[in-house]
Structures are given as structure tokens and as C-alpha cells.
Chain A
Amino acid sequence: MKDKTMTQSKISAKGVQVHYADTHAIKDVDVEIADKEVTAFIGPSGCGKSTFLRCINRMNDTIGICRVTGDIRIDGEDIYDPKVDPVQLRAKVGMVFQKPNPFPKSIYDNVAYGPKIHGLARDKDDLDQIVENALRKAALWNEAKDRLHASGTGLSGGQQQRLCIARAIATAPEVLLMDEPCSALDPIATAQVEELIDELRQSYSVVIVTHSMQQAARVSQKTAFFHLGNLVEFGETDKIFTNPEDPRTESYISGRIG
């Protein structure tokens, strides 16, 4: 924690435990996520990356059997404090889900929904501008600009995923959680999204779950390696990929487990 290069911490989690009924999905995880940085979560399937990500915007609240304990703070405020309204939290912490889930409405309405309910647009032109910017950033504008009023569910899987990214950034969150945002994208769209992530880093803190080691190495400054619900190793991306401390990390990134 005394690391000089460490920027100011945006999210700090201590002793986080998550149970799904009898499944112990996250075991005593401590992590510090810095502001204006990209943090990558990597690890084998089922190790709890999505679960931990969902703790940060309290989406786990919606799962009846899910129990979260421990301490998670954003800007020093305990987000599990009874005084915290999860709705307000989620406006601040945007999320792109693992499976693309556009609303069965028009592309425009998908993106405009968040700004509308949060009162971010002053008028129609303003809203149009927000929608356009979000779609541009998500690298969807060129494909979508002529069919803004066509249904979002009529897009291809990869386009839907970018639409969900556009929807998440349209509400101008401070933290963006992305659960495998490029899993359905071709290399060109992936590159565009990675560019976007890099751009977002200027103003937000971004957490990205990915199964691609190259992607983690390319976009993130910090990397967290999860294994069976444990946070095995967390630190500078360069260090994790070149000189991991834990043997499990090493075997995972070299492709021996997972």
C-alpha cells in the first residue's frame, strides 16, 4: 500500500466473502482499484470474477440466495451501508454484462434510457448528442446511424455487445465494470473497444473481466488473478505477466490451468 506509483484508490474491498446458498463463491478477497486506471480480472471459468464484479455495483442484491459480507468502499464510502441506495450506486457504477442484453426497444431508446431516467439531457438535441457520442465511443455509430430506430435486438451478437457498452457509458458513470465485453467481437471491434477503454481511463476507473491474456496485458495497468474464489495475486499487469509470484498464476497465464 505504500507503493509510490499507486494512484489514489477508487474502490477498496476488504475481506469480501460471497455465498450463493451453500456455494462459497468469493473467499476473503482484498483489492484496491485505483482511479483512472484499468484493472483486469482474469482467472479460470467459474472462479468468481463475475460474482466479484457484481458486488461492486450491488447487482448481487437481486439474487435472493446471494449473501455478501465484508467491506467495499467507493471513494471511502461503504457501499453496503444501509443508508446507501443501490439505485444511486448503480448510476455511478455502470456495468456491461457478460451476455449482451439490449432492451427490446430501438437502438436509440436503448442508449437514451439511462440519460433519460437520470435527467442528464436538457432537451431532445442534447439527448441526441449523448446518444451519438455514446454510440461513437462504442464503435457502433457507423453501423447504427441509419437505423437508430430499428430494434436493438435485431443487431448481431457483437453489435449488441457494443450497444450495451454504449448504453453503459451514456449515463456517464464514474466506474465502469465490463464483464467480458469483447467475448463476441471480431478483432477490429475488439481493437475499437480496447481503444475506448483506454480513452475512458482518462476520466473513469474501469474494471474488465477477460479470458484473453493478451487483452489483459494490452489494456490494463493492474491485474487480479482469481482462482476458485480466492484472489491469488494482484498487482501491476507487467509484473503479473512477466514475473508472477504465485505458481498458480504462472501456470494459468502460461496456459496450464483453466
Chain B
Amino acid sequence: MTHKSLLTVDALTRKRNTAEKRFKAYGLGAIIVAMIALALLLTSVVSTGSSAFKQTYATITVPLPAAKLDKSGTRDLAVMKKVTTIGYASLLRDGMVATVEELGIATDLNAKTIGKMLSKEASATVRNAVLADPDIVGTDMEFKLLMNGRIDGYFKGRVTMESAALDGNTSPEELQLAQALADVGVVDTTFNWAFLTAPDASDQRPEAAGLGVAILGSLYMMIVVLVLALPIGVAASIYLEEFAPKNRWTDIIEVNISNLAAVPSIVYGILGLAIFINFMEFNQSSPLVGGLCLTLMTLPTIIISTRAALKSVPPSIRDAALGVGASKIQAVFHHVLPLAASGILTGTIIGLAQALGETAPLLLIGMVAFVREYPAAYTPDAGLFGEAATALPVQVFNWTQRADPSFVERASGAIITLLIFLLIMNAIAIFLRRKFERRW
């Protein structure tokens, strides 16, 4: 036999090496494509949506004449409530016009148009302030008020002089006036906390629309899902994995759980509609019903990941515990579960994140409704989480349906908010995995 040198690569090795290189290249290619797609998605969402977190306000002094706002003169709320937002709108208009005149800004616009540069929401803001504190009637108060969507769009670059010229809702003159007001600091674009706290607003006032109700609704639903799906899912998995006899019935259950995980989410909406709304007669659109639907949807995910986590605990640990005379339950709770905890928590958070982003079943149970009121956590007639609410992904869906272009920005902003929540949840999952990770 001839001596083979290690310094020359033989044919077989060369073939193996090329195959390996090819495989690595495929993998790298796949990852690059995925990263590009992700980058495109993020840039498009962030570039259209980030402006939703800023909002244009005018800080003006509004006269609050008692003669108009409190005809009885007794500060009687019942009487004062008779003055509608239309009544307040004229006060705001006067305030705007006075401000413009005071500053000596020349404009051809009539008073009515100047008044309309403020959002329709602004008069409601002032009215609420007055009703909350009737004593301010009779004084001149300074308010920070929303500008309308077109003016706001101008400061964010969405509306230009050219587009305004073609737009029936605004005009280049209005934009010039707004710019002049901005130059002296009356009009300013600041961080939009209201986007995260305010409820939804109607088609005519996109500038006032916020995610408050959606965030609260999503939060309530996540609480329902966590409180129900985690214990039920973990208990079911522990039973199936550690205690159930391995026979045909448990096989059937196992197959069914895997199938349930693959059922389209809208089916859970149909199920929820039939069971929770039609049969159990819970309130439509309520986070309770939404949460229950999402619980059903999340359970298989949690069960599958929990079982995988339990399976990955080496059987020798169970033997060790049983060998020193621990009972089965003690072995599971003292030794197996702590070792499986990181896997269980990761699975749970991934399930929750899935549920947080789920839209289809919520549409079916009416969570797409337009909700202006904050849902109360508890009311005697609606019960816990029983009042109408909406959810983040549904709010995105809802806003993308609206006509006014300002809602595009809002929808993207809502997506950013949703993504941030998902990122936070994944960060928690990673943190918990690190914290509970054990070697054996």
C-alpha cells in the first residue's frame, strides 16, 4: 500500500468539503433574504408610523364668557351641559383669531377658516375642562389644543403646499398661517402621549385618535389568557406527560392537541361566538370573551411547549427523586418542573405574543367595534373585563379601513406599538430563560 500524504486532499474529502460549503452558502443566503425582508418591513413601518408619536398643538388663550357657558349663573352642571361642543367651537375660533391678530400676523383667511384649523376635538377638550372645573368660567384660560389633521400633516411632511392646493379640507394659506404661528411658538409639535392614552376617534378627527382603549383591551385579554391558559396548560401537560397511562386514549388526545395548534385562528372566533356570546351570553366585544377565545387558541401552544420542556428533563432526575422516596408529585414539583420552567415560560410568552397579535377571532366576536369609552375592569352588570373594548391588532385593522390619510400614520404607529410590546415580551422570555437555565 502506498503512503498517503495528509497534505494533499483526496477526492472524497474534497467532495465532502464542497458539499459543506454549499450548505453553508444556502443557509447564509436564506438568512440574508430574511434580514432584508425584516429591514424593509421595519423601515416602512417606522418611516410611516413614527410620526404618530408626535402631534401638533396650538397653545392659545380661550375666553370663557359666563353669559354663554353658564346661562343660569349658578354653575349648575345640568344647565352647563346644554352648551354643546358647537357652542364651544365659536369660543375657540375667537381665541384663535385674537391670537393671530395680537401677533400681528397678516392673513386673508376669514375667522371661520382660522377656527377650523383647530381640531374638532379641541372644543371637546375645552368643554370637558369647563365641566370638570366650572369655576374657570368667566376667565380667559390658556389651553394646549390639537390642530387639525392637515395642519398636523404639514408639520410632519405629509401635506405640502402643492397637495394643499388640491385639497378641499385645507389650503396653502392655512398652512402659511400655521407656519407663521409655529415660528412664534404658538403652534408646536410635541411628543404625543395622547396617542398611547386616548380612546379612538371618529373619521373626522384622526388627530385625536389614540390607542388607549386598544392597549387596555389587549392588556385585559392578556391577563385573561395568562391566568387561564398557563395553569390549565401546564397542569394538562404535567398530567399527560408524567401521570397519564400511555394508551390509545392518550394517543388520541395527543394527536388532537397537535391538530388544535394548527387550527386557523378564525375558527376559535366562531367557537367563541357560539359558546361565550350566544350560549353563555357574555357581552359582545368584551375583553373577557376575547381573552377566552385567545385562551383556547393559546392552550395547544402552551401544552406542546410545556410537554417538550418536561420531556427534555432527563429521566434520571425523576429516578433520583423517586429513589430517595419522593412521591411522583414531589418528584415533579420539586425537580422536574423547576428544570422545565424556562421552557414552559418561553412557550407561554410565545403563546401570549401570538395571542397579542391575533386579529381574526376578535373580529368575529365584535371587538372591531368603535369604542370611545374606556372599559372598566369591573362593573356590576358587566362583570370582570365585561365591557366593550378593542385590541391593538384590531385597531390597526380598523384604522387601515378609514378614509382619511392621517389614519395610515396612526395605523403604522399602532403597529410600532404592537411590535414594541412583542419585543418586550420576547425580551422577558429571553431573560427568564437565562435566569432559569440550569445545566445537568
- CB pair B440 A171 closer than 8 Å: no
Q: Which partner residue on chain B sits nearest A65 by CB separation?
A: B246
- Cα of A170 to Cα of B325 in the assembled complex, Å: 12
Q: Does B322 lie at the interface of the complex (its beta carbon under 8 Å from any beta carbon of A)?
A: yes
What's the nearest-Cβ distance from chain B to residue A60, in Å? 11
- Cα of A59 to Cα of B325 in the assembled complex, Å: 10
Contacts of B438 in A (CB 8 A): 104
- CB pair A103 B325 closer than 8 Å: no
Chain B 308-352, CB-CB to A under 8 Å as 1, else 0, gives 000000101111111111111010001100010000000000000
Given that A103-B335, A104-B339, A153-B439 are contacting pairs, would A57 and B323 also be in contact in the complex, using a CB cutoff of 8 Å?
yes
Contacts of A117 in B (CB 8 A): 324-326, 330, 334
Q: Which partner residue on chain A sits nearest B328 by CB separation?
A: A87
- CB pair A97 B320 closer than 8 Å: yes
Given that A104-B438, A153-B439 are contacting pairs, would A171 and B318 also be in contact in the complex, using a CB cutoff of 8 Å?
no
Q: Which of A88-96, A214-222, A243-251 contacts B (4 or more CB under 8 A)?
A: A88-96
Contacts of A101 in B (CB 8 A): 314, 316-317, 319-320
- CB pair B323 A59 closer than 8 Å: yes
Contacts of A91 in B (CB 8 A): 324-325
What's the nearest-Cβ distance from chain A to residue B150, in Å? 63
| Interfacial residues of chain B within 260-281, with CB under 8 A of chain A in the complex | none
Sample (21) of A-B pairs whose CB atoms are under 8 Å apart = A59-B319, A59-B322, A64-B245, A88-B325, A92-B325, A95-B323, A101-B314, A101-B316, A101-B317, A102-B320, A103-B317, A103-B335, A104-B339, A113-B321, A113-B324, A113-B326, A117-B324, A118-B325, A167-B320, A168-B323, A171-B324
Q: Does A99 lie at the interface of the complex (its beta carbon under 8 Å from any beta carbon of B)?
A: yes
What's the nearest-Cβ distance from chain B to residue A119, in Å? 11
Q: 8 extra interchain contacts, Cβ-Cβ under 8 A, other than A91-B325, A97-B323, A164-B320?
A: A59-B323, A64-B245, A87-B325, A87-B326, A94-B325, A101-B319, A103-B317, A117-B325
Among B320, B323, B328, max chain A CB count under 10 A is at B323
- CB pair B321 A103 closer than 8 Å: yes
Q: Which partner residue on chain B sits nearest A152 by CB separation?
A: B440
- CB pair A167 B316 closer than 8 Å: no
- Cα of A57 to Cα of B314 in the assembled complex, Å: 20
| Interfacial residues of chain A within 137-155, with CB under 8 A of chain B in the complex | 151, 153
| Interfacial residues of chain B within 240-262, with CB under 8 A of chain A in the complex | 245-246
Tell me which of A62, A99, A118 contacts B322 (CB under 8 A).
A62
Tell me which of B319, B323, B328, B439 contacts A104 (CB under 8 A).
B439
What's the nearest-Cβ distance from chain B to residue A200, in Å? 16
- CB pair B319 A97 closer than 8 Å: yes
In this complex, the interface size class of chain A, counting residues with CB under 8 Å from chain B, is 20 to 34
Q: Which partner residue on chain A sits nearest B245 by CB separation?
A: A64
Q: Does A114 lie at the interface of the complex (its beta carbon under 8 Å from any beta carbon of B)?
A: yes
- Cα of A47 to Cα of B334 in the assembled complex, Å: 34
B interface residues, how many (CB within 8 angstroms): 23
| Interfacial residues of chain B within 287-320, with CB under 8 A of chain A in the complex | 314, 316-320
What's the nearest-Cβ distance from chain B to residue A179, in Å? 10
Contacts of B323 in A (CB 8 A): 57, 59, 90, 94-95, 97, 168
Q: Which partner residue on chain A sits nearest B324 by CB separation?
A: A114
Contacts of A88 in B (CB 8 A): 325
- Cα of A59 to Cα of B317 in the assembled complex, Å: 13
Contacts of A59 in B (CB 8 A): 319, 322-323
Q: Which A-B residue pairs are the 8 nearest by beta carbons?
A: A91-B325, A101-B316, A114-B324, A104-B440, A90-B325, A101-B320, A95-B323, A87-B327
- Cα of A95 to Cα of B320 in the assembled complex, Å: 9
Contacts of B316 in A (CB 8 A): 97, 99, 101
Chain A 53-72, CB-CB to B under 8 Å as 1, else 0, gives 00001010010100000000
Given that A104-B439, A117-B330, A153-B440 are contacting pairs, would A62 and B324 also be in contact in the complex, using a CB cutoff of 8 Å?
no
- CB pair B322 A167 closer than 8 Å: no
Contacts of A99 in B (CB 8 A): 316
Contacts of B339 in A (CB 8 A): 104
- Cα of A97 to Cα of B314 in the assembled complex, Å: 14
- Cα of A62 to Cα of B320 in the assembled complex, Å: 12
Tell me which of B314, B327, B334 contacts A113 (CB under 8 A).
B334
- Cα of A117 to Cα of B322 in the assembled complex, Å: 11
- Cα of A87 to Cα of B318 in the assembled complex, Å: 13
Q: Which partner residue on chain A sits nearest B335 by CB separation?
A: A103
What's the nearest-Cβ distance from chain A to residue B407, in Å? 53
Q: Which partner residue on chain B sits nearest A58 by CB separation?
A: B322
